[in-house]
Amino acid sequence: MKHTPVQFFFDFSDPVSYLVARELAAIDHPAGRAVAWVPFERRPPPASLVTTDDPALAARWASCRQQSESRDILFAPARLVPWTRKSHELALYAETHGVGDAVRNRIFEAYLLEGRDIGRVDVLVEIGVAFGLDVTETKAVLDVDRFEQAVLEAREEALQAGVTDAPTIVAGGGSVRGFHNRTALGTFLGP
């Protein structure tokens, strides 16, 4: 039986995306049912930067803290929510070198658990180098925006397909948005 692809639309500054990513990682996916990570900037430039106590984000953070505490995750983000385009660019570049999963997880942790500014190229280069990416090439890739168009196109295609926020998972003609635990996700994704 052929399985339809699973698309996971996520953003690195979003605690809900991180929680869903962890739940997805805990599910046994059938062979051929790989998850395609699709960048979705929740607040792309030129939207103004906000802080984690912004009224539009405060309820999201409060609900995530409840979910995270039950999973022994201690969120400690920087107060300023960075633009994440460069982070997504690094993740796409890392994917071409076979370290996409590790780099994505580290970017999430750097911002959400350590409060680092994942909008800064120097921080992202450090993350990439820790997973074997060449320092000079990684910096050049980010400086010249090599993967910027891919990030922009992914968001535009998502919007055209009806995805309006991250996290969203699309599979088998259906979709789920927001936080769902591994049991619910396993049911949605099916055998």
CATH number, domain with residue 106: 3.40.30.10
* pLDDT for 1 beyond 60: no
Q: Which two tokens stand for residue 177?
A: 């948005």
Residues 6+ apart with CB under 8 A from 60: 14, 15, 16
Query: What's the pLDDT tens digit per position in 13-61?
Result: 999 999 999 999 988 765 556 889 999 999 999 999 999 999 989 989 9
1 assigned to some structural domain: no
DSSP letters of 33-84?
-PEEEEE--SS-TTSPPEETTSHHHHHHHHHHHHHHHTTT------SEE---
- On whether residue 86 sits in a domain, the answer given is yes
- Number of structural domains the chain divides into: 1
The parent domain of residue 20 ranges over 6-189
| Alpha carbons within 13 A on the beta-carbon side of 138 | 27
Q: How does pLDDT run across 103-138, given as a tens digit for each residue?
A: 999 999 999 999 999 999 999 999 999 999 999 999
